[in-house]
Amino acid sequence: MPLRRRWAALLLGVAVVLAVAAAGARAQDYNNGGGGDGEDEEEEEKPSFKAQEACNGAFLTYTFTEREKEYPRTKNATAQAFAFKATATVLNTMTEDLKAWQMFVGFQHKEILVTVGGAVLLDGTDLPANVSGGVTFAGYPMANLLNSIETAGDLTQIQAQIDITGTQFGVKPPTAPMPRTIKLSNPGFRCPKPTHKQSVMYVCCVKDPKFKAKKVNTTTRYLPRQKADLTIAYDVLQAFGNNYMVQVTIDNWSPIGRLDNWNLTWEWKRGEFIYKMRGAYTLNKEGPACVYSPAAGYYKDFDFTPAYSCEKRPIVVDLPPEREKDKDVGNIPFCCKNGTLLPPTMDESKSRAVFQMQVFKLPPDLNRTALYPPQNWKIIGKLNPQYACRQPVRVSPVVFPDQTGLMSSTPAVASWQVACNITRPKRRAAKCCVSFSAYYDDSVVPCNTCACGCGGGGGNDTATCDADARATPLPPEALLIPFDNRTAKARAWAKIKHRRVPNPMPCGDNCGLSVNWHIMNNYKSGWAARITIFNWQDYTFKDWFAAVTMRDHYSGYENVYSFNGTKMGAPFNNSIFMQGLPGLTYLEPITDGRTPEDPRVPGKQQSVISFSRKDAPNVNIAKGEGFPKRLYFDGEECALPDTIPKPSSAHRRAAAAASLGQIVMAVVLVMVVAVVDSLCL
């Protein structure tokens, strides 16, 4: 055999032997459970392994696991619904704890979350939740991720896993429907664009060196208390094996925020139930019904008759003032105001509400330190701002003065805080509305169609009216009658003004309270407006207030004549705060007309507001600069019209002639008064 062929055969034999040996080594490593080259194989199977090892911050992953078609089955791929499952993780790879972690997942396929394990939605949205624009998860029950150094790398303490089940649309297999992005939402962290490989997305978020955090007590694992329009404190006063005593404190911090007849609700996540309460009560007190609850399976010999609520979502309301000194349900500071929370700018003593509860727990939380606050807090009022509440965060225990009156203090066993902020109402979701009118236009621009929602009859049945049509201009006297009585006047006014009458007519605004802003006059030295508040409800607004945000000419504000008016500071710059004068703090409800045929008459109050041109000489009233930018009533932002009154050329000519006539009449009047005075002398 030639030498060249011998060498080729020899090399081929060596290659075969090495391949067999390598295969045997890999099989041996796999059977032995890893180690050595097995780690390299695991690294290839897990593309995020290298990035995770190199991360010094928070390492986030999102893994799409499976999906299957849902009913109904459609041929249109974008309309086909798929049930999907995914897993997200947050791993703390820093030398310090990651407190109150928050992970944003930028869903983009019309996702609807059905179940979430290991976390809750930060904004407290109920499941199933439409999260097609993205959602932020907050840790529950493990809100804080400890560091690896102090836990010997225990993954159960340094990593949180979110198990996600839901529905998504529009991505045909085998393409994996992944989110747009993932990132850590905690302040002070910087996240690059995530890496996407097949059905896995991962990113390492690190601390931003430019972020200046407020100085906090580093000796504890707690976060500083947050600032918000409204805060709710959940302070555990006493802890026992199977129950604890807690005090709930609601503080209103917003200068224009207000709540009337507040309803507070939350969601118990671990089977808890309320046994006793003081300072408030549950709207549905269903003690006997507790025998059918999961708690009855554990507390077999327990008398549930006195229990306040075993509901997963109890509704808590305030006590009336006459129960303030009741030894059984009252005797709690700041309780019993019938659910009224005024802004601190009006009355600080009425800006706080407090109540206490005895809460019983279920296994496996039967020890003193197993304390978990409820989640998904919500608070609403009669006609008040809409609040979006975040999930509770652990804060330093609040310190209470000693009840004996001695110079000592007692800290709470544990404290959490819920931060709630006022949100701007979505279109057709307001609770009050505004109409515009002016001296240079004899028509009124009414509230927008369905400004406070549609449906419900009373002239707002969408079967007989158009919910999408623009509101029809009205004669001024039409503001004094309910909308379902305005149709004839609107049609007649349109005929007089030679305007097209829509068919069907636009739906009403459906608002229980409306405000008219009328530009009264415009002189060289200044101008004035009149504000009129109409109450269309069978409800009296006590201690009402309003706030109006003007534009650049706010500096010319002089006075409010029939209300108490005050200039506001930051963050409500360019705003005027108004409330009723002493004895006029009640806005009366709607009343019946003189005869059954007459329309009902709204309760109303009005005042004139004057402005000077000294500090705002360039304000152009004719272009609409005299109308407010925003208007609030009892803290609720009212819906403003889409258009403003505009002067016509005919009106400008008439106005000029009228001005000359007014001057002549004024001169004649002065002369007449002088003659009368001389005759009297």
Share of the chain above pLDDT 90, in %: 59
Q: Which two tokens stand for residue 297?
A: 């399976």
| Domain end point (choices 422, 442, 476) | 422
- The average pLDDT across 222-233 equals 91
- Residue 173 identity: P
Percent of the chain scoring above 70 in pLDDT: 85
Q: Residue 117 domain-assigned?
A: yes
On whether both 197 and 261 belong to a single domain, the answer is: no
Q: Is the pLDDT of residue 681 over 70?
A: no
Q: How far is CA 117 from CA 10, 17, 138, 162, 394, in A?
A: 60, 51, 11, 5, 20
What domain range is 443 assigned to? 432-453+466-638
Residue type, 49: F
396: in domain? yes
**pLDDT tens digits, residue range 455-514?**
654 444 567 888 888 899 999 999 999 887 888 888 899 889 888 888 888 999 999 999
Q: Most confidently modeled of 74-78, 180-184, 223-227, 345-349?
A: 180-184
**What is the spatial distance between Cα 199 and Cα 43, in angstroms, rounded to a whole number?**
16
Torsion-angle region of 198 (φ positive above 0: left; ψ -120 to 50: alpha; else: beta): left
Q: How confident is the model at residue 340 (pLDDT cuts 50, 70, 90)?
A: very high
Q: State the chain's mean pLDDT as an integer.
A: 85
More confident residue, 443 or 214: 443
Q: How far apart are CA 376 and CA 267, in angstroms?
A: 6
What mean pLDDT do residues 326-341 have?
93
Nearest-CA neighbor of 415 among 371, 458, 448?
A: 371
Who's near 377: CB < 8 A, 6+ residues apart?
Answer: 124, 232, 264, 265, 266, 389, 391, 392, 418, 420
**For the purposes of burial, counting CB atoms within 10 Å of the CB of 24, is it exposed (0-12), middle (13-18) or buried (19 or more)?**
exposed
Q: How many CB atoms lie within 10 A of CB 293?
A: 19
Chain CA centroid to CA 337, Å:
24
Is residue 186 domain-shared with residue 255, that is, in the same domain? no
Same domain, 180 and 101: yes
Instruction: Kindly report the pTM of this predicted structure.
Output: 0.81
Does 677 score more than 50 pLDDT?
no
On whether residue 628 sits in a domain, the answer given is yes
User: What's residue 174's pLDDT?
Assistant: 81
Report the CATH number that the domain containing residue 612 is assigned in CATH.
Answer: 2.60.40.290
Six-digit token string for 182: 């993932």
Average confidence (pLDDT) over 610-629: 86
pLDDT score recorded for residue 211: 86
Query: Is 122 a residue whose pLDDT tops 70?
Result: yes
* pLDDT score for 2: 54
Instruction: Report the number of distinct structural domains present in the chain.
Output: 3
DSSP state of 398: P
Q: Is residue 67 part of a domain?
A: yes
Q: Specify whether 174 is located in the same domain as 240.
A: no
Mean pLDDT of 103-112: 95
How far apart CA 644 and CA 550 sit, in angstroms, is 15
Contact predicate 572/255, CB 8 Å: yes
pLDDT of 18? 47
Query: Of 621, 638, 655, which residue constitutes the final position of a domain?
Result: 638
Show which of 422, 445, 475 is a domain's final residue.
422
Is residue 662 predicted with pLDDT exceeding 50?
A: no
- Confidence class of residue 668 from pLDDT cuts 50, 70 and 90? very low
Higher pLDDT, 557 or 616: 557
Q: Which residue has the higher pLDDT, 36 or 533?
A: 533
In a domain, 673, yes or no: no
3-class secondary structure, 393: strand
Q: What b/e readout covers 56-76, taking b as 16+ CB neighbours within 10 angstroms?
A: ebbbbbbbbeebeeeeeeeee
408 shares a domain with 308: yes
Q: Which of 162, 156, 157 is nearest to 135 (CA)?
A: 162
Q: Residues 286-293: what's their mean pLDDT? A: 78
Please give the DSSP secondary-structure letter assigned to residue 329: T
Q: Which pLDDT belongs to residue 484?
A: 79
Please determine, for residue 176, whether its predicted confidence score (pLDDT) is greater than 80. Answer: yes
User: DSSP 3-state assignment of 608?
Assistant: strand
pLDDT, greater one: 555 or 112:
112
Q: Could you report the per-residue pLDDT of 361-394, keeping only the tens digit for each?
A: 999 999 999 999 999 999 999 889 999 999 999 9
Provide the phi-psi class of 100: left if phi over 0, else alpha when psi is between -120 and 50, else beta.
Answer: left
| pLDDT at 546 (0 to 100) | 95
On whether both 390 and 444 belong to a single domain, the answer is no
Q: 85: pLDDT confidence band, cut at 50, 70 and 90?
A: very high
Q: Tally the residues of the chain.
A: 681
Task: Please give the C-alpha separations between residue 119 and each of 100, 145, 280, 389, in angstroms, as whole numbers.
Answer: 11, 13, 30, 16
Residue 660 covered by a domain: no
Average confidence (pLDDT) over 248-274: 95
442 and 416 share one domain: no
Q: Does the pLDDT value for residue 653 go beyond 70?
A: no
Let me know whether 630 and 489 are in one domain.
yes
* Measured distance CA(224)–CA(62) in Å, rounded: 30
**DSSP 8-state assignment for residue 426:** P
**And the tokens for 35?**
């180690």
Half-sphere exposure of 679 (CA within 13 A, CB side): 6
Residue 39 has pLDDT above 60, yes or no: no
Answer yes or no: do 414 and 437 share one domain. Answer: no
Instruction: Give the pLDDT score at 31.
Output: 39
Q: Is the predicted pLDDT of residue 433 greater than 90, yes or no?
A: yes
* Residue 37 within any structural domain of the chain: no
Residue 6 confidence (pLDDT): 55
More confident residue, 43 or 193: 193
Does 631 lie in the same domain as 596?
yes
Asked if residue 678 belongs to a domain, the reply is no
Is 130 in the same domain as 94? yes
Confidence at residue 46, expressed as pLDDT on a 0 to 100 scale: 61
Both tokens of 405, joined, read: 């009156």
Same domain, 523 and 415: no
